[in-house]
């Protein structure tokens, strides 16, 4: 019998676990839960004889793959996958997948929520501004970017996007203005919302040059990954440009310094919150379970990340 481990330091909602278990039981698989574990040794012990693992933000590195002698597939319930060592997975012959799009609406709603909170001065009773008519630029036009675009158009915003993997025709078909370069996006838009993954090419790529080129009173929003920001440069430019604002659901290492230096021009949630809705939690977990069943029973590799 195929054993599937749900290894979640931050557990799924109970309803999501029930749904995941129902899918796996229906396929004749055994579900094993490892929730709220406090040490890596617990994870290493749990993976020893399983064929599949579902994780959220849990770290699956070379040591885990070494310990998982029977492992065939790992599915990250969510879009980002920098918590999984793809090279180690490939070395061990393990397929890695994510569940793109399952939390896209949740992240998009958080983007707009933070924008409203920020431009209304943290709801402190003073006069703020409106989103209507503002130019919002999307750095990546995947599932999350498309959902931000959908909501932004409903607020009568002008939507722009840069994504080297999306064509001008695709964007324009969805009522989005095509931007040819990342630099042009930052220089053009009143708001830039970032949705790129953390890769060797993107890590530390958002710094003083790009942010400093933004229009007066511009806003930068990061619900992507902490690693894409050059934090020292960002803090420097935000200190120099007192008209700029930064909102994120990923606290930077210099969070305390940003709070002190920037005041209400800066906002960060206590922890990463983009996918923290019951709907997204459930959707991603169910998708992960279905993908494992499809892979084990039919060899379906549609969402495979490693080669």
Query: What is the rounded distance in angstroms from the CA atom of residue 271 to the CA atom of residue 140?
Result: 23
- Residue 273's contacts (CB-CB under 8 Å, 6 or more residues apart) are 110, 249
pLDDT of residue 281: 87
pLDDT of residue 67: 98
Give the confidence band of 307 by pLDDT, cuts at 50, 70, 90.
confident
- Residue-wise pLDDT tens digits, 173-217: 999 999 999 999 999 999 999 999 888 999 999 999 999 999 999
pLDDT of residue 80: 82
- Residue-wise pLDDT tens digits, 1-30: 999 999 999 899 899 999 999 999 999 999
State both tokens at 241.
Answer: 């440009």
Residue 236 has pLDDT above 90, yes or no: yes
Written as one string, the DSSP assignment of the chain is --EEEEEESSPPPHHHHHHHHHHHHHTTPEEEEEES--SHHHHHHHTTT-SEEEESS--B-HHHHHH-TT--EEEESSS--TTB-HHHHHHTT-EEEE-TTTTHHHHHHHHHHHHHHHHTGGGSSS-----TT-EEEEE--SHHHHHHHHHHHHTT-EEEEE-TTS-HHHHHHTT-EE-S-HHHHHHH-SEEEE-----TTTTT-BSHHHHHTSPTT-EEEE-S-GGGB-HHHHHHHHHH-TT-EEEESS--TTHHHHHHHHGGGEEE-SS--TT-SHHHHHHHHHHHHHHHHHHHHH---TTB---
Single pTM value for the model: 0.83
Sign of CA dihedral 210, 196, 64, 32: positive
Domains of the chain: 3-102+277-298 (3.40.50.720), 104-268 (3.40.50.720)
Q: What average pLDDT does this structure show over 135-150?
A: 97
- Residue-wise pLDDT tens digits, 67-111: 999 999 999 998 889 899 999 999 999 999 999 999 999 999 999
pLDDT of residue 97: 98
């Amino acid at each position: 019998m195929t054993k599937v481990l749900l290894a979640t330091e931050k557990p799924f909602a109970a309803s999501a676990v029930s749904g995941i278990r129902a899918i796996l039981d229906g396929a004749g698989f055994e579900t094993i839960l490892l929730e709220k574990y406090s040490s890596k040794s617990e994870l290493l012990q749990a993976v020893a004889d399983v064929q599949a693992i579902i994780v959220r933000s849990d770290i699956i590195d070379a040591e885990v793959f070494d310990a998982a002698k029977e492992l065939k597939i790992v599915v990250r319930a969510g879009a980002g996958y920098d918590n999984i060592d793809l090279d180690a997975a490939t070395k061990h012959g393990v397929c890695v997948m994510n569940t793109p799009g399952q939390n896209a609406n949740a992240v998009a709603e958080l983007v707009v929520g933070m924008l409203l909170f920020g431009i209304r001065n943290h709801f402190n009773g003073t006069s703020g501004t409106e989103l209507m008519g503002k130019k919002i630029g999307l750095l990546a036009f995947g599932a999350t970017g498309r959902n931000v675009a959908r909501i932004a158009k409903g607020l009568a915003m002008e939507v722009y996007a840069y994504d080297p993997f999306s064509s001008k025709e695709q964007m324009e078909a969805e009522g989005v203005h095509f931007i040819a370069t990342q630099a042009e996006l930052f220089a053009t838009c009143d708001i830039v919302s970032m949705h790129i993954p953390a890769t060797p090419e993107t890590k530390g790529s958002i710094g003083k040059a790009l942010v400093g080129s933004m229009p007066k009173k511009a806003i930068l929003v990061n619900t992507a990954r902490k690693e894409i920001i050059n934090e020292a440069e960002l803090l420097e430019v935000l200190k120099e440009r007192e008209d700029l604002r930064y909102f994120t659901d990923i606290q930077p290492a210099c969070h305390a310094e940003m709070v002190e230096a920037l005041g209400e021009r800066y906002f960060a949630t206590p922890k990463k919150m983009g996918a923290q809705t019951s709907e997204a939690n459930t959707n991603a977990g169910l998708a992960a379970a279905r993908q494992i069943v499809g892979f084990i029973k039919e060899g379906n590799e549609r969402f495979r990340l490693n080669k």
